[in-house]
Amino acid sequence: MVRQYIPQAEVVRERFAEVNDRVAEAARAAGRDPSAVRVLVATKYVAAEHLGALRDAGITLIGENRAQDLVAKHELYGDAFDYHFIGHLQSRKTRLVVPLVSLIHSVSTMSVVQEIEARATNVTDVLLEVNIAGEESKSGLAPAAADAFLDEAAACGTVRFCGLMCMPPWTDDASVARPYFAQTRELAQRLSTTWQGTYTFEQLSMGTSADYEAAVQEGATIVRVGSVLF
């Protein structure tokens, strides 16, 4: 059984403000504009009926891991949030996800690209998920395979790659994760040049509750936090 968290709006508001302050401080330390970084709240452990507390806390961007939970939350709260999909996306669940989100973070298989192409009525923005550390336990494309994958995906005109998503090896030491964030940023810079005119790789979804400040300093434009709030 998945343990659900029952949020209290005032507690979440206070913690969310602290996260935003730390994001801004990390961005300024790296010579970046703090407004270039969005804080996404991962709602995997918040049941649909409790999502109103996040809305009341001033949160507008949420990320969901499971298609069925995304559907349930969207049915209850509609346009109260900007929804992103951040979990592993199965081809057969793509039809549920595409109409409800503004960005899919976790595309790394041609079957999902082709399913988006078949289901989408408009251009769908996605991130290429890269397995930056080559961990067998994690999904994502090997960085060396990115160009061949994008070359094949280019035949699907409604799928628009606009950045990368990564999840480095888990650690409670942000300095250990930081080199993986740097590698992801460098890969995005190279892909932006190689695929100029076809795709952009300006968006970098990287960093979680344990290491989001390091991710911001290495170029993250979206950080995904959950436990630091809950």
Q: Helices (DSSP H) in 57-173: which residue ranges?
A: 67-77, 94-97, 110-119, 146-153
Provide the sign of the torsion angle of the four alpha carbons 151, 157, 162, 163, taken in this order. negative
Q: Which residues pair with 129 in a beta bridge?
A: 165
pLDDT in tens, 153-197: 999 999 999 999 999 998 889 999 999 999 999 999 999 999 999
Number of neighbours of residue 42 by Cβ within 10 angstroms: 21
Opening angle at CA 59, ends 26 and 91, nearest 5: 95
Q: Which residues pair with 160 in a beta bridge?
A: 125
Asked if residue 1 has pLDDT above 60, the reply is no
Residue with tokens 């995997």: 44
For residues 139-144, average pLDDT: 96
pTM greater than 0.75 (yes/no): yes
Q: How many helices (H) and strands (E) does the chain have?
A: 8, 8
Q: Mapping DSSP to helix (H, G, I), strand (E, B) and coil, where does residue 61 land?
A: strand
Alpha-carbon distance values, 138 to 88, 141, 153, 174 (Å): 10, 10, 21, 19
- The CATH topology of domain 9-225 is TIM Barrel (3.20.20)
Q: What are phi and psi of 3, to 5 degrees?
A: -75, 125
pLDDT in tens, 24-79: 999 999 999 999 999 999 999 999 999 999 999 999 999 999 999 999 999 999 99
Residue with tokens 């999840």: 167
Q: Which residues pair with 14 in a beta bridge?
A: none
Q: Quote the CA–CA distance of 173 and 208 in Å, as a whole number.
A: 12
Alpha-carbon distance values, 100 to 85, 109, 149, 191 (Å): 9, 20, 25, 28
Opening angle at CA 65, ends 19 and 84, nearest 5: 65
